[in-house]
Chain A
Amino acid sequence: MGKKWLSLLLIGVFVGASLVGYTAISSAKTIRILALAWPQAKVEQELADKYFTPKTGIKVIIEAQPYTYNEQKARQEVAAGSSYYDIYHYDSQWIGNYVVSGALERLDTKDYLLSPDSKINFDKDFFPELTYRSCKYPTIGPELDKGNFKAFKDTPIYGLPWSQNCEVLFYNKTLFKNAGLDPESPPETWEQFREYAIKLTNPPKHYGVGFSASPAADYISMDFFPIMWSWGGALWDPYTWTAEGYVNSPESIAALQFFSNLYLKDKVCPPDTPNWDMDPKLSALLTGLVAMAPEWVPLLGAIMDDPKSSQYVGQIGMALMPGKKDPATGKIRRFHMYGCQGTGINARSKHKKEAWEYLQWLLSYDTQKALTDNPAAAFVSGRRDLRYYAAGLNRWNKAFIDAIPTIRDFWNIPPYAELLFIQNREENLAFIGAKTPAEAMNYAAKLEQAIYDSSPYKPKR
């Protein structure tokens, strides 16, 4: 045989072997998940390898991306019409874009939730306060705030609850004691919060309050919105997509005045606060630089009693966010920032059946309990039947469950990112005193209205 023929034969064998190998790999039942790189993703992978794959023969590959790049990655996949990922974990504010892009499979169909074999009962299994915001689209926030879930009974479902979260008030009991405050009585109202913050401030060692007030991502708004809502302010009218008179209402402006006064006048926040994202606030709480701060429940809850992370083990307390006394009822009006993520099936997936099987397993009582039991997962479940178990398990799960009725979220409509940037920038400028709260909110209203008006998704009247 000549050299030429030998070479051709070798190439043929190589190509053939590669094809056989590729076919074997691609025919194996494998699902890929684009996840957020949070602690629970690692534990989810371990549980899937240990229980789901041996039981079903479906291999699960969870590719975790840092939060900042997750949306970019998913949007690029969607734009490319890719079927590479079978499941997308997504943040609640992304759902509008995902839906209008056709990224997510509708789950309220006979193939999924309405199938007689479905192991999930969407309305019965999960807290509607959480799932109606991140799994159904479109919904209207104020209706959900009122508990009017019936209004969205037939609204399409695109996901199931993946990760549940909200901000509550964390405070340092040792610093409370040192300042002569009762460590078991955290502030109930914002006025009390300010009063306590002044007492707790002893610069440069200790400050009363820490906020993540950076204009990047959603940091400053996360910490400001609960104040704005308790003052009676609002971001917009979601029925008519109107900003004017809402984001710049007297209540919203007064709330921003209170918020910025804490930094500018009372000086109860560390000087770098307007440049803080989540990490500096977290470490400030754990090192005692700040005595109080709103913070995400599982994020801090899971590490606050770990001596490797905290200088105040057993001394960090948790409480509902302070509120404002409603003059009409005398009741305290308080709100908690929503931070939940959903998980849905890629509408272009070639393994929808396997993906659905996985989601049913992931959202089952046993798997959710296993995730809840593992502190490394820093997990809070959206399942209703786990609420008492979880509340008894640790303080932060209890804090989350207590906060559920007063959770609120911001936009999840397609132009949310631009709206959020404007809002953050204006709040930040008011916070540092570069603009008055009225100037900031009036300008935000003007720009946000222009975005609403130019959006093709604005409801026709």
Chain B
Amino acid sequence: MKADRRERGIRLILYLPTLIFLILMSIFPLIFSIYISFFNYTLGQHMDFIGFGNYGSVLTDSSFWSALRITLEIAVLAIPIEVFIGILIAFLFNTRGKGVEVCRMIILIPMMLPPLVIGFFWKYMFDATFGIINYFLGLLSGNPQIISWFTDVRLALIAIVLVDIWEWTPFVALLAMAGLQAIPPNVRETVRLEKASWWLRFRTLYLPYLRFPLLVAILIRSIDTLKIFDVVYILTGGGPGEETVTLTMFAYRVGFNYFYTGKAAALSWIIALISVGLITILIRVLSRKSTA
């Protein structure tokens, strides 16, 4: 009995540093951010209680709605393409043979690079004057191409989507490959012997094994895209105008350029609620399809 109590005490002491760390670094800032979201507070200046004023200010700010629209546009354009190409890559490399392992490693490189590096080298590749992309487009069309990728409202968004696809398709491919590797060899052999059509094979053999990894991939990519910041920050800085300002860029600007800390806290909570809402809907839709 005494030994039990002593062991429990030791356990508590061992938990304590983690608990203190969590309370100080996660729980307290979370609660404090809710608290300051009810104050008109510019960093370094005095705080005035304004109730839900900051939430109202965010929801009536046209820049917020513009940022939400742009973020969703990036997600809707990029994620389906990433999933499609990711599955293709997974099938392509789901074989054994010389060089396959090396190729698998190479295609994973984009997702392992720091976003800052990705931002800078795509910025140079998309450069209108000396960028390699315009150079190749010029070769293909037979005429020199001067396309200003980052100064046209639509093209800037397309460029961001293309970079996102390049960066994150390997992640989807990795998960899809894991799904394909999980197929037992005897099941694969049976279906092959039945000489089923490609589509039938995909539906009956591969899809059941791909469903869960793809669900995870779509969820993680959706959460990531709602938080997209670094690559956009480097590529366009939010321009032209504010046509590529995403939700997190907008929150960063309010918090760290304007120093409207109270409004930034309210904005962060609104973004969190939007993310949770969208992810919940996504989980329901995808799991319903999975179980159907």
Give the complex CA separation of A277 and B237 in angstroms. 10
A100 proximity list for chain B (CB < 8 A): 45
B238 proximity list for chain A (CB < 8 A): 215-216
User: Known: A417-B258, A429-B241. Is A270-B45 also a contact (CB below 8 A)?
Assistant: no
A214 proximity list for chain B (CB < 8 A): 237, 239
User: Known: A203-B146, A417-B259. Is A289-B239 also a contact (CB below 8 A)?
Assistant: no
User: Known: A425-B242, A428-B241. Is A204-B150 also a contact (CB below 8 A)?
Assistant: no
* A208 interface residue per 8 A CB criterion: no
Report how many residues on chain A are interfacial, defined by Cβ distance under 8 Å.
Answer: 33
* B240 interface residue per 8 A CB criterion: yes
Report how many residues on chain B are interfacial, defined by Cβ distance under 8 Å.
Answer: 28
Q: Are A417 and B241 in contact (CB under 8 A)?
A: no
Give the complex CA separation of A271 and B127 in angstroms. 9
User: Known: A79-B44, A271-B128. Is A204-B144 also a contact (CB below 8 A)?
Assistant: yes
Q: Are B44 and A272 in contact (CB under 8 A)?
A: no
Shortest C-beta distance, A457 to chain B (Å), equals 10
A30 proximity list for chain B (CB < 8 A): none
Among B241-284, those with CB < 8 Å from A are 241-243, 253, 256-259
**Mask of B104-148 contacts with A, CB within 8 angstroms, 1/0:** 000000000000000000000001110000000000000010111
8 smallest beta-carbon distances between A and B, as pairs: A101-B44, A216-B237, A271-B128, A274-B151, A429-B241, A271-B148, A275-B150, A78-B44
* A360 interface residue per 8 A CB criterion: no
Q: Are B257 and A417 in contact (CB under 8 A)?
A: yes
Q: Are B129 and A434 in contact (CB under 8 A)?
A: no
Shortest C-beta distance, B229 to chain A (Å), equals 14
Q: Are A271 and B146 in contact (CB under 8 A)?
A: yes
**Mask of A230-272 contacts with B, CB within 8 angstroms, 1/0:** 0000000000000000000000000000000000000000111
The chain A residue sitting closest to B261, CB to CB, is: A79
A387 proximity list for chain B (CB < 8 A): none
* B43 interface residue per 8 A CB criterion: yes
B144 proximity list for chain A (CB < 8 A): 204
Q: Which of B127, B148, B152, B259 contacts A75 (CB 8 A)?
A: B259
* A83 interface residue per 8 A CB criterion: no
B94 proximity list for chain A (CB < 8 A): none
Shortest C-beta distance, A450 to chain B (Å), equals 11
Known interface pairs A76-B43, A414-B42, A429-B241; 19 further A-B residue pairs with C-beta atoms within 8 A, sorted by A's residue number: A101-B45, A204-B129, A204-B144, A204-B146, A215-B239, A215-B241, A270-B128, A270-B129, A271-B128, A271-B146, A271-B147, A272-B129, A272-B148, A274-B148, A274-B240, A414-B45, A415-B258, A417-B259, A434-B240
15 pairs, CB–CB < 8 Å, chain A vs chain B = A75-B43, A97-B42, A97-B259, A100-B45, A204-B144, A214-B239, A215-B239, A215-B242, A270-B129, A272-B127, A275-B236, A275-B239, A277-B237, A421-B253, A428-B239
Question: Could you list which residues of chain A lie within 8 angstroms of chain B, going by C-beta atoms?
Answer: 72, 75-76, 78-79, 97, 100-101, 103, 203-204, 214-216, 270-275, 277, 289, 414-415, 417-418, 421, 425-426, 428-429, 432, 434
* B153 interface residue per 8 A CB criterion: yes
User: Known: A97-B259, A270-B129, A272-B129. Is A434-B153 also a contact (CB below 8 A)?
Assistant: yes
Q: Are B128 and A434 in contact (CB under 8 A)?
A: no
Q: Are B128 and A272 in contact (CB under 8 A)?
A: yes
The chain B residue sitting closest to A416, CB to CB, is: B258
Q: Are B240 and A429 in contact (CB under 8 A)?
A: yes
Shortest C-beta distance, B66 to chain A (Å), equals 11
Q: Are A428 and B259 in contact (CB under 8 A)?
A: no
B43 proximity list for chain A (CB < 8 A): 75-76, 78-79
Shortest C-beta distance, B259 to chain A (Å), equals 6
Q: Are A432 and B129 in contact (CB under 8 A)?
A: no
Q: Are B151 and A273 in contact (CB under 8 A)?
A: yes
A270 proximity list for chain B (CB < 8 A): 128-129
A426 proximity list for chain B (CB < 8 A): 241
The chain B residue sitting closest to A275, CB to CB, is: B150
User: Known: A75-B43, A97-B259, A421-B257. Is A272-B150 also a contact (CB below 8 A)?
Assistant: yes
B237 proximity list for chain A (CB < 8 A): 214-216, 275, 277
B129 proximity list for chain A (CB < 8 A): 204, 270-272, 289
Shortest C-beta distance, B48 to chain A (Å), equals 9
User: Known: A271-B146, A271-B148, A273-B151. Is A103-B242 also a contact (CB below 8 A)?
Assistant: no
B256 proximity list for chain A (CB < 8 A): 72
